[in-house]
Chain A
Amino acid sequence: MKGIKDKVAIIGMGCTKFGENWDMSFDDLIIDAVYEAYEDAGIGPDDIDAVWMGSYWSNLPAPSQPLATTLKLDYKPITRLENMCATASDALRNAVYGVASGACDIALAVGGEKLKDSGYSGLPTDDLAMGLVSTGPNTFRSRNFTAPSHFAMMATRYFERYGLSPEQGREMLAKIMVKNHNNGMLSPKAHFRMPITVDQVLNAPMIAWPLGLFDCCGVSDGAAAAIVVRADMAKSFRPDPVKIKACQIAVGPSEGYLNPNHDWTMVKETWVAGQKAYEEAGIKDPRAEISMAEVHDCFSITEGVIYEDLGFSTRGGMGADIEAGTFELDGDLPVNMDGGLKCFGHPIGATGLRMTYELYKQLQEKAGDRQVKNPDLGLSHNLGGTPGGCTISVNIIGH
């Protein structure tokens, strides 16, 4: 049968506290995440057959070898991979595929990023980590675009298309970030754990019109890890393993940059990855069947458009669902129960597995004050790149 559903299960996970971990190196973060996962699974390094490790910039240019040294994973196959902001989700997908293929029984997916050694907020340029001259078209690359402005262009267009004044649109989006901060307060491992108000969001310094400071996620260091095994082995490790239902990646051909048909009010890659994941997991009505979701709220508008692209809201319907509290912790379909990228920050190589960690703990009813009632299926979503052209991952896990 085509697809990954129920062939592989997660038996252990770990996640560091995300934040400005000045006194922790990339290696420290990785060790802490992986050893929490070992402990959670009740296994040790000798049990691991293969490793897929995600990082975007950290420890380049040869991160696999330091990983073996750091973790003393002697003479195991280790692959370092990168798929933009979906890097950690793709590390998990690769580990899952490795196990499902029969090539190995126990695989480790780990992702981490050390962003706060750079000396500034935001993501480094490629050369900072690689020490290389970019070989992409110089002219294209010389544009002074930042990530916030790319996502802001989606907000500008969304407001126009749905007849929202900038004030109305900004207030609608502010409520998403207020929700995420409410949730982040309940997350011991989150970077930012304070409440914010709609007024604070609206009056914060402008970053890229129409997005202000609190429309943007934080920048943090962190790491997370998952140990996956053949589904039929899972219960021998623990009574409550969590099954993989779908692992999908959709990489778009940058239509937002090239094609006038792309109107910047949706991210087609999200829609495609979502549809494929639903098909793989056998989900007909995502709004009703998905219990909860961890999605890529790098910016307020991103989370809003994700609601629509994943079929949680109708087109143009995010505002009504935000008003109705649909995505609050006690709503019909809680989103970003742990506070999301907004409160955890976004260490690129770690984020996808941090999301999986939250879903895994929720499914095991171990989410403490954030616990969602009787969750059955959890969805995680990453957006790597910009709304004009991106890598989207949608992973679904459940009982």
Chain B
Amino acid sequence: MAGIRDYGAYIPYNRLERSSIAQTWGGYPKKGEKAVANFDEDTVTMAVEAARACLSQGGNEKVDRFYFASTTAPYAEKQAASLAAAALDLSPGAFTMDVAGSLRAGTSGICAALDALRGNSATNALVTASDMRLGAPNGAKEMDFGDGAAALVLARDDVIAEIDAYYTVNHEIFDQFRPADHPYVLSWEDRFVREMGFSRVVVKAVTAAMAQFNVSWSDITIPVLTSPNPGYLKGIAKKFGWDPKLAAMDAIYPRAGNTGCAHSFLLLCHALDRAEPGDRILWANYGDGCDVMLLTVTDRILERKRGGVETQLATGSPTTYPKYLRWRNLVETEPPMRPRQEPVSAPALYRDRRCGMALQGSKCRECGTVQYPVQRICMNCRAKDSFDYYAFADRQGRVVTFSHDLLGVTPDPPTTVAAVDFEEGGRIMVDITDRDPKEIAINMAVEMTFRKFRRTNGIQVYWWKSRPVRKAQMMPLGKDQSSTVGGVAARVDGGGK
């Protein structure tokens, strides 16, 4: 058997009111808001965030299989999984693979990971799903789509939820698609997408899967269905005979948008945050077919601190539509009269991979002083080449001093720069991102976040920034809270057929 040992979610800090888009174009305002990746984020950085939340108890070195799923990976040729693996300091022996091309990419990764676990070719499989899809400006998809990521670690034992079985079908249809040379997601008429795509395929697949799994709706306590349009869920609920209240099953969409191939992961994480031992989850994900899985929640779920998805949803800050357009390069802005970007050197970047990608400094073996980046000669005792690598990524720091720089070139001025001292030693000079400049103060607690920096000649430099600690402390949820309505966690409780 195999199942989910841990999970983590990441929803970007910046949020955009859908109505502000409608207001700009004079269109029909949709309710709610979408999560918007900052200018310094992409699907790799978001996957790293989610994976770090997932691996918060450590165990990076145990991961021996890593599937990176996205329809919007930064490179067509260059593996996103290897980029993220470097940032996560995964073992070089880990099997890495990108899964792309479908909103099922994430669940396809899960199926592949399950096969590897069952076939004894993996023991700890990390699967991340992250997306930041573009809908063309002034379209419904632009309002609907949000950015986000989630990660699951699958293992054979110590799982919080067994994945009892999976069932999958493929289904060829041009319902929603994006040509490789096109920036925006396209789709056919909504009714065709719903009737001939989603509704038909999901109903058929789920029905067949349940027969194969040998379960009926009375066995399922939590359905987790992902739809390209949450409006479609109502019809599905009706077809399956659920309580119509369960129609509003998508707790992520109203507050973060449809997050592409990450969406089914985020919905599952949200369900797991509220699940009880013994809950049976039917997890179905649609896109060019349908993946269906049956999960049984174990007692171990009670040992885990939960509530991470709600925390991610609740900690955000409004941004503006013009900023979003600029961050996605959808408007051309006058170049600043500043020095051009210094070209990136691939060899220099390669040499810097431990310090840069994995944020490792050194800890002197002689005097214990920690320092960043790696100092071959200790700044304290001058011992030469006597150090151990020392990871800073998961350590918390405090702002020693800062400035808000309006001269530096950035799509989100000002650039907030700071000297950050870490509670367990060491100092790094870093930007502070995802921040309200008014709130930055000396002694403010910050945490590290993996981000994009400059890009020249197609080479994207990644490094780390700090951000004010996002209230990531996960709250253990009591039993009576688990039935909170309004999300995917709404329970069927035998309410099925």
Contact = CB atoms under 8 A, between A and B. Distances in A.
Nearest to A152: B403
Interface stretch (A60-68, A122-130, A240-248, A329-337): A122-130
Contact of B356 (A122, A138, A154, A209): A138
A128 B379 contact: no
A364 B379 CA distance: 45
A139 B454 CA distance: 9
A149 interface: yes
Contact of B427 (A120, A139, A207, A259): A259
A127 B337 contact: no
A160 B373 CA distance: 27
Nearest to B404: A209
B417 A149 contact: yes
Contact of B408 (A144, A206, A259): A144
Given A121-B337, A134-B345, A259 B453 contact: no
Contacts of A155: 403
A374 interface: no
A144 B339 contact: no
B182 interface: no
Contact of B371 (A123, A209, A258): A258
B401 A122 contact: no
Question: Which range contains the number of B residues in contact with the other chain?
Answer: 35 or more
B264 to A, nearest CB: 34
Interface stretch (B70-78, B186-194, B199-207, B346-354): B346-354
B401 A154 contact: yes
B458 to A, nearest CB: 14
Given A148-B407, A153-B418, A125 B463 contact: no
A140 interface: yes
Contact of A264 (B338, B351, B401): B401
Given A156-B402, A208-B407, A258-B427, A125 B340 contact: yes
A263 B356 contact: no
Contact of B406 (A120, A123, A153, A206): A206
A239 interface: no
A153 B403 contact: yes
A142 B40 CA distance: 12
Interface in B332-383: 336-345, 347-349, 351-352, 355-357, 371-373, 375, 379
A141 interface: yes
Contact of B426 (A152, A209, A260): A260
B421 interface: yes
B425 interface: yes
A124 B356 contact: no
A143 B427 contact: no
A138 B357 CA distance: 11
A157 B454 CA distance: 28
B116 interface: no
A126 B345 CA distance: 13
B419 A141 contact: no
B385 interface: no
A135 B401 contact: no
A289 to B, nearest CB: 34
Given A124-B339, A258-B371, A258-B375, A146 B405 contact: yes
Given A144-B405, A146-B407, A139 B419 contact: no
A65 to B, nearest CB: 26
Contact of B401 (A126, A128, A156, A206): A156
Interface in B408-427: 408-410, 414-415, 417-419, 421, 425-427
Interface stretch (A43-51, A192-200, A249-257, A266-274): A249-257
A108 B404 CA distance: 43
Nearest to B464: A139
Question: Max chain B CB contacts within 10 Å: which of A121, A145, A388?
Answer: A145
A274 B427 CA distance: 27
B343 A127 contact: yes
Contact of B405 (A119, A152, A388): A152
Interface in B452-474: 453-454, 461-463
A118 interface: yes
A125 B401 CA distance: 25
A102 interface: no
A208 B431 CA distance: 13
A128 B414 contact: no
Query: DSSP majority for the B interface?
Result: mixed
Nearest to B371: A258
Question: Which range contains the number of A residues in contact with the other chain?
Answer: 35 or more
A133 B421 CA distance: 31
Contacts of B1: none
Contacts of B342: 125-127, 133-134, 141
Given A137-B348, A258-B427, A145 B373 contact: no
Contacts of A138: 344-345, 348-349, 352, 356, 461
A126 B341 CA distance: 10
Contacts of A128: 339-340
B429 interface: yes
Contacts of B442: 156-157, 160
Contacts of B462: 139
Interface string A377-392: 0000000000010000
B400 interface: yes
Interface string A67-82: 0000000000000000
Contact of B373 (A140, A146, A149, A253): A140
Contact of A120 (B339, B348, B352): B339
Nearest to A153: B401
Given A144-B415, A209-B414, A257-B427, A137 B373 contact: yes
Nearest to A145: B417
Contacts of A253: 379
Contact of B419 (A137, A153, A205, A210): A153
A205 B371 CA distance: 37
B453 A142 contact: yes
A149 B421 contact: no
B177 to A, nearest CB: 35
Given A134-B348, A146-B407, A258-B371, A153 B402 contact: yes
A252 B285 CA distance: 58
A153 B401 CA distance: 6
B345 A135 contact: yes
A125 B340 CA distance: 7
B401 A157 contact: yes
A378 to B, nearest CB: 33
A265 to B, nearest CB: 9
Contacts of B415: 144-145, 149
A137 B355 CA distance: 9
A160 to B, nearest CB: 5
B436 to A, nearest CB: 14
A149 B348 contact: no
Contacts of B408: 144-146, 149
Interface string A190-224: 00000000000000011111110000000000000
A205 B406 CA distance: 10
A59 to B, nearest CB: 18
23 contacts: A133-B348, A139-B349, A144-B410, A145-B429, A146-B408, A149-B403, A149-B404, A149-B405, A149-B417, A152-B405, A160-B442, A206-B406, A207-B407, A208-B403, A208-B406, A211-B403, A253-B379, A255-B379, A256-B419, A257-B419, A259-B427, A260-B421, A264-B400
Given A139-B453, A139-B463, A153-B403, 15 more contacts: A122-B338, A122-B407, A136-B348, A140-B356, A142-B344, A143-B417, A143-B429, A149-B415, A152-B403, A153-B402, A156-B442, A157-B401, A209-B405, A256-B429, A258-B371
The 3 closest A-B CB pairs, nearest first, are: A139-B356, A152-B403, A149-B405
Interface of A: 118-128, 133-146, 148-150, 152-157, 160, 205-211, 253, 255-260, 262-264, 388
